[in-house]
Amino acid sequence: METPPLDIYPLWVVVLDYVLGVIMWTLIGRSAMNIFLREDSDFFFMKFFVRATNPILRIFRPITPGFLLDPMVPLFVAWFFFIIRFYVLPWILGYHVMGMLSFPLESDIARIIYNLAH
């Protein structure tokens, strides 16, 4: 069985990764929902995704290319959070790039799914 993230990383690293991961996945969720629904939809999940991600998209607006279609902008911004989690955070901590599924958030989710399946 895999070692829990808190046994490997300091608490602040796990919390930071969780926050960045939730932001990243919320941005991806908004893009996925936008395939089926307009941004001004009355569906409560879409309202949540739009309300939760609009402040983040405003922060990244100065570096977002103008040629991107609106539904692609959240994916573009999510990519920055992925890069921070996959490359910058391990570099700051002095670790080598850890690889996929070594993110604490995704590792915990994978462990929960594994335990539910067995």
Tens-digit pLDDT profile for residues 1-11 = 566 777 777 88
Tens-digit pLDDT profile for residues 54-79 = 999 999 999 999 999 999 999 999 99
Predicted model pTM: 0.81
Instruction: Give the chain's end-to-end CA distance (angstroms, integer).
Output: 12
| Mean of pLDDT over the chain | 86
Structure confidence at residue 52 (pLDDT): 94
- SS3 state of residue 95: coil
Structure confidence at residue 87 (pLDDT): 79
DSSP string, 103-116: SHHHHHHHHHHHHH
| Helix spans in the chain (H) | 5-8, 11-36, 44-60, 73-83, 89-93, 104-117
Backbone Cα Rg of the chain: 16
